[in-house]
Amino acid sequence: MTRFALTVIRHGETRLNKEKIIQGQGIDEPLSETGFKQAAAAGIFLKDVKFTHVFSSDLKRTKQTVHGILEKNKFCKDVTVKYDSRLRERKYGAAEGRPLSELRAMAKAVGEECPAFTPPGGETLDQLKMRGKDFFEFLCQLILKEASQNEQFSQDSPSSCLESSLAEIFPLGKNCASTFNSDSGAPGLAASVLVVSHGAYMRSLLDYFLTDLRCSFPATLSRSELTSVSPNTGMTVFILNFEKGGEGKPTAQCVCVNLQGHLAGCLEEGTCNFHSIFVWQYVIFKKSSKEAC
């Protein structure tokens, strides 16, 4: 059995996020002042978490965010970030650089709605989902290959430290005791992976986990809540479990969706004022479904 943790974080705010301008892939906007504060807040929140692998989209807003996170981390300052174009935001084609209201108007003009509408030159939702699936399968094969080269983990090995560092800030234990706790006899984590990406990409990845992997989420959450766009630097955490041999799809358990508690210290009117609700020990972000930028 091979288990690993996957923490996925949206980039910090940009000026165009605040102005509701579509960025996609073609508009490579840097973080705003608030965005840098959000990245630093995320880094402080994650400062004691030991990540073995770090991946990021190769766009400027994600590069700046992952840098802001890692410079606060006690264990990852020397970790090499791997930039991967498969983690880029959805491509919006002709809508990039234009207000979100115009994208909605374009969709309405042809009898469609966002986010299903694909603007000219843009990427369909299916294409976006396949891009996310391709990266995830690559990641799984990487972790399985590395795990097979290592000795069997013992309870006192670094793998148990990976899990305990996550458990300090994420609800790994109480609701998932039979799956995650050391008392269950499950092996320690083979890896703890950090991925920094984008809003629409993360929403698509959640859909893949929900529909293809049959990921376990809190039963009280609706599909619309699970497919809402993450706030800037919102965090979603999964535990993936491969049975012996690593054949087939992994079992996926979601720990939290769009966690945003770290933003409390950097609230600014009109920038970080998000509403969150707690369901058991899961944290989700509730807002109406809308396009990410």
Annotated catalytic residue, options 11, 53, 198, 262: 11
Stretch (H or E) spanning 253: strand 251-259
Annotated catalytic residue, options 89, 123, 163, 225: 89
The answer on whether 150 is annotated among ligand-binding residues is: no
The answer on whether 100 is annotated among ligand-binding residues is: no
* 241 vs 293: CA distance, rounded Å: 32
DSSP-based three-state secondary structure for 35: helix
Give me the amino acid identity at 74.
Answer: K
Is residue 146 flagged as an active site residue?
no
The answer on whether 50 is annotated among ligand-binding residues is: no
Is residue 163 flagged as an active site residue?
no
* 77 vs 133: CA distance, rounded Å: 29
The answer on whether 96 is annotated among ligand-binding residues is: no
SS3 content of the chain, % helix, strand, coil (to 5): 40, 20, 45
* 140 vs 240: CA distance, rounded Å: 9
DSSP code of residue 31: B
Whether 22 contacts 291, CB under 8 Å: yes
The answer on whether 12 is annotated among ligand-binding residues is: yes
The answer on whether 104 is annotated among ligand-binding residues is: no
The answer on whether 86 is annotated among ligand-binding residues is: no
The answer on whether 92 is annotated among ligand-binding residues is: yes
The answer on whether 88 is annotated among ligand-binding residues is: no
| Other C-beta atoms lying within 10 Å of the C-beta of residue 210 | 17
What is the set of active-site residues?
11, 89
Binding residues for substrate: 10-17, 61, 89-92
Residue numbers belonging to the annotated binding site: 10-17, 61, 89-92
